[in-house]
């Protein structure tokens, strides 16, 4: 295998592109994206100018939660390909100068995982049950769940099993779907298994892992009740719940860091998906002997408001700086409403939960305009950044999916009160006038694509000055040239209200979120812009520029 050799600490300013394999590119025409499809399209990522890609799960899975329910951590689901396809993908990526990160899902497995099946068969008190969180129920006959913890997706977080004798028995914890039983991370076997899984993928040449629900592995001893019921949104926002952000998680990551470091240089990395606030708590995940990166979700969730954005950016700079970690900026992923739509909804706009045809619809033009400005802001900030597939096309959320095709367990478990995340997972448009917009050779697509996707197809944007795709390419090239990811941010004093203005090295960045058109300094030239200037050369609202 060709080994790609980036700088040792490449991750400090890397731009990583998230591939959601199911919806990226389908090579065999069955309507589900696959690994050979990803490999075939890797030149798109190299041309875009990113440093690498993160692959959402492609492991063996019943896809009860789109692959975040893993039945075998060391194999590929036949729908996505084979282990040989992963090897080919990694080798091709390395040839193109791209690193490959994979997703690690340690909080829970699929209920089809052999360990969970063994736990069901073995019965209460067995070592097999000790790998998961089985407990007796409350109430005279154990008919009540062991505590009041909810599932993040809606409903209760416990499900009662039927024991071998046919009687209702113990309950198991699932913070997500009923098909995603939580592991018990106090079990030494669980720890050993995941260290072995890390090695399995590191040995195949991956550059690191995005760690799913990194804040959830350890539960407070005794599994105490929540003091108040929380709805889903509050759950994602919360601190101090007995199942999020427990101090014990850090021991796990310090051990993993040891495993990764044993692979030497270039460094292999861990990126936390930790919905944790305030930023001081988040910074604990990226201390020098733990993870390398942790998504700045405060930035993703921020309103389109200059003051609020500056506050978030300053807080991130301060807290991450205090532990010597870079900030990992992100605006979109497979769990949230795409930023081209989110920023076109009434402030602050839904981050999670999705948008249905019966909900107020985002303003597409406004959303795209702000999204492009937000992207230029993000790519000018010091640190690393993650892009979500399709955002380089300015792709909007599919907000009018028929309810009948929804696949996200959030839709079911929330009893149809939340649309769920399917709208940001719709297969990508590559070719405007091909069947299925070129996603698959047959035109098949596991979720229907809206007709409007034709306008966003990669082929109609390629080489077109001012297209979103070309804006991303130019910005990524300039970011590299000016080493913005390694730079320092210095706010410019007296920026007009409603704007953000800072220097990063020799680049001046101005973002107009809400002000009337602002004049640009006359001694500089525009190097990148998110949209047209006014006829007299001023920066209009919802527009950003980089000046040199």
Cβ(133)–Cβ(184) below 8 Å: yes
**Is the CB of residue 62 less than 8 Å from the CB of residue 179?**
yes
Q: How far is the CB of 460 from ligand GLC (least distance, A)?
A: 30
- Closest to 380 in 3D by CA, of 474, 514, 286: 474
| Distance from C-alpha of 265 to C-alpha of 267, rounded to nearest angstrom | 5
Identify which of residues 27 and 241 has a Cβ nearer to ligand GLC in the complex: 241
- Least Å distance, CB 63 to ligand GLC, is 11
Residue with tokens 């736990």: 119
Q: Would you tell me how many other CB atoms lie within 10 Å of the CB of residue 322?
A: 12
Tokens of 354: 């999705």
What torsion do the CA atoms of 397, 53, 77, 72 make, to the nearest 10 degrees? Answer: -110
Nearer to ligand GLC, 109 or 504 (CB): 109
Minimum distance from residue 177 beta carbon to ligand GLC (Å): 8
Write out the binding residues for ligand GLC, residues 42-71 only, by CB under 6 A. 65, 68
Q: Least distance (Å) from ligand GLC to the CB of residue 245?
A: 14
Neighbours of 443 (CB within 10 A): 15
Q: Are residues 67 and 58 in contact, defined by beta-carbon separation less than 8 angstroms?
A: yes
**CA torsion, ordered 492, 493, 494, 498, to nearest 10 deg:** 50
Give me the least distance between CB of 334 and ligand GLC, in Å please: 6
* Window 381-420: residues binding ligand GLC (CB under 6 A): none
Q: Which is nearer to ligand GLC, 16 or 368 (CB)?
A: 16
CB 289 within 8 A of CB 282: no
DSSP, collapsed to helix, strand or coil, labels residue 376 as: helix
3-state secondary structure of 423: helix
Q: If residue 121 lies in a helix (H) or strand (E), which one and from where to where? A: helix 114-122
Catalytic residue at 212?
A: yes
Assign 468 to helix, strand or coil: helix
Asked if 422 interacts with ligand GLC (CB under 6 A), we say no
| 85 Cα distance to chain centroid | 23
Position with the least CB separation from ligand GLC: 68
Nearest CB to ligand GLC, comparing residues 100 and 105? 105
Residues 60-119 that bind ligand GLC (CB under 6 A): 65, 68, 105
State which residue, 27 or 56, has the beta carbon closest to ligand GLC: 56
Distance of closest approach, residue 414 Cβ to ligand GLC, in angstroms:
13
Closer residue to ligand GLC in complex, CB, 334/372: 334
CA 423/CA 440 separation, integer angstroms = 19
What tokens were used for 201? 């993928």
Q: How far is the CB of 56 from ligand GLC (least distance, A)?
A: 8
- Tell me if 176 contacts ligand GLC by CB under 6 A: yes
By CB under 6 A, is residue 212 in contact with ligand GLC?
yes
Total residues contacting ligand GLC (rule CB under 6 A)? 9
In angstroms, rounded to a whole number, what is the distance separating the alpha carbons of residues 466 and 164?
A: 64
- In angstroms, the Cα distances linking 310 to 294, 301, 433, 487 are 19, 13, 42, 17
Q: Map the footprint of ligand GLC across residues 315-344, applying CB under 6 A.
A: 334-335
Which of 212, 232, 245, 408 is catalytic? The answer is 212
Please check whether residue 255 is in contact with residue 191, taking contact to mean a CB–CB distance below 8 angstroms. yes
Radius of gyration of the chain (CA): 23
Angle between helices 468-481 and 364-380 (to 10 degrees): 10
Taking the complex as a whole, the smallest distance from the CB of residue 335 to ligand GLC amounts, in Å, to 5
Nearer to ligand GLC, 68 or 172 (CB): 68
Contact call for residue 213 and ligand GLC (CB under 6 A) = yes
Closest CA to 18 of 220, 266, 293, 222: 293
| 299 makes contact with ligand GLC (CB under 6 A) | no
CB closer to ligand GLC, 18 vs 512:
18
Question: CA 134, CA 172: separation in Å to the nearest integer?
Answer: 4
Distance CA 338, CA 332 (A): 5
Helices 188-203 and 249-261: angle between axes, nearest 10 degrees: 30
Q: Which is nearer to ligand GLC, 213 or 476 (CB)?
A: 213
Rounded Cα gap, residues 50 and 387, in angstroms: 9
Residues 226-285 that bind ligand GLC (CB under 6 A): 273
Residue with tokens 């994206």: 33
Q: Give the residue with the Cβ less far from ligand GLC, 241 or 467.
A: 241
Minimum distance, C-beta of residue 420 to ligand GLC, in the bound complex (Å): 10
Of 273, 391, 392, 408, the active-site residue reads: 273
Q: Closest distance between ligand GLC and the C-beta of residue 502, in Å?
A: 31
Question: Which residues are annotated as catalytic?
Answer: 212, 273
Could you list the residues that contact ligand GLC (CB under 6 A)?
65, 68, 105, 176, 212-213, 273, 334-335
């Amino acid at each position: 295998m060709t080994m790609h050799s980036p700088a040792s600490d490449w991750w400090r300013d890397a731009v990583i592109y998230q591939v959601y394999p199911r919806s990226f590119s389908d090579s065999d025409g069955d309507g589900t994206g696959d690994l050979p499809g990803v490999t075939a399209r890797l030149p798109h990522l190299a041309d875009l100018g990113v440093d690498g890609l993160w692959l959402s799960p492609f492991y063996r899975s019943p896809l009860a939660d789109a692959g975040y329910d893993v039945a075998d951590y060391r194999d590929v689901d036949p729908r996505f390909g084979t282990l040989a396809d992963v090897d080919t993908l990694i080798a091709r990526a390395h040839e193109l100068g791209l690193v490959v990160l994979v997703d690690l899902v340690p909080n829970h497995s699929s209920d089809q995982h052999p360990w969970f099946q063994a736990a069901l068969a073995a019965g209460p008190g067995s070592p097999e049950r000790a790998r998961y969180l089985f407990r007796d129920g409350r109430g005279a006959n154990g008919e009540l769940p062991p505590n009041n913890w909810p599932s993040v997706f809606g409903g209760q977080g416990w499900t009662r099993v039927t024991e071998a004798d046919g009687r209702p028995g113990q309950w198991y914890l699932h913070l997500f779907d009923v098909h995603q039983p939580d592991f018990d991370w106090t079990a030494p076997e669980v720890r050993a298994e995941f260290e072995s899984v890390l090695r399995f993928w590191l040995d195949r040449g991956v550059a690191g892992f995005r760690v799913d629900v990194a804040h959830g592995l350890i539960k407070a001893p005794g599994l105490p009740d929540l003091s108040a019921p929380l709805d889903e949104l509050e759950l994602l926002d919360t601190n101090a719940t007995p199942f999020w952000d427990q101090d014990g998680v850090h021991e796990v990551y310090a051990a993993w860091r040891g495993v990764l470091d044993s692979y030497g240089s270039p460094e292999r990395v861990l990126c936390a998906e930790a919905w944790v606030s305030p930023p001081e708590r988040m910074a604990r995940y990226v201390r020098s002997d733990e993870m390398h990166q942790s998504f700045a979700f405060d930035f993703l969730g921020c309103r389109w408001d200059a003051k609020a954005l500056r506050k978030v950016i300053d807080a991130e700079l301060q807290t991450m700086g205090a532990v010597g970690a870079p900030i990992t900026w992100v605006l979109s992923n497979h769990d949230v409403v795409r930023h081209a739509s989110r920023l076109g909804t009434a402030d602050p706009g839904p981050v999670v939960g999705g948008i249905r045809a019966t909900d107020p619809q985002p303003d597409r033009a406004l959303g795209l305009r702000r999204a492009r400005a937000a992207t230029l802001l993000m790519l000018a900030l010091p640190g690393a950044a993650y892009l979500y597939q399709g955002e380089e096309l300015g792709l909007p959320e599919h907000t009018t999916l028929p309810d009948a095709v929804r696949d996200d367990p959030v839709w079911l478990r929330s009893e149809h009160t939340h649309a769920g995340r399917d709208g940001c997972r719709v297969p990508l448009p590559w070719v405007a006038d091909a069947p299925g917009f070129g996603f698959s050779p047959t035109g098949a697509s596991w979720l229907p694509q809206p007709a409007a996707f034709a306008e966003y197809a990669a082929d109609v944007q390629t080489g077109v000055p001012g297209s979103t795709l070309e804006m991303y390419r130019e910005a990524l090239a300039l970011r590299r040239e000016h080493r913005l990811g390694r730079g320092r941010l210095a706010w410019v004093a007296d920026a007009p209200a409603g704007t953000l203005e800072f220097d990063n090295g020799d680049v001046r960045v101005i973002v107009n979120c809400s002000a009337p058109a602002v004049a640009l300094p006359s001694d500089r030239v525009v190097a990148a812009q998110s949209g047209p200037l006014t006829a007299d050369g001023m920066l209009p609202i919802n527009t950003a520029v980089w000046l040199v």
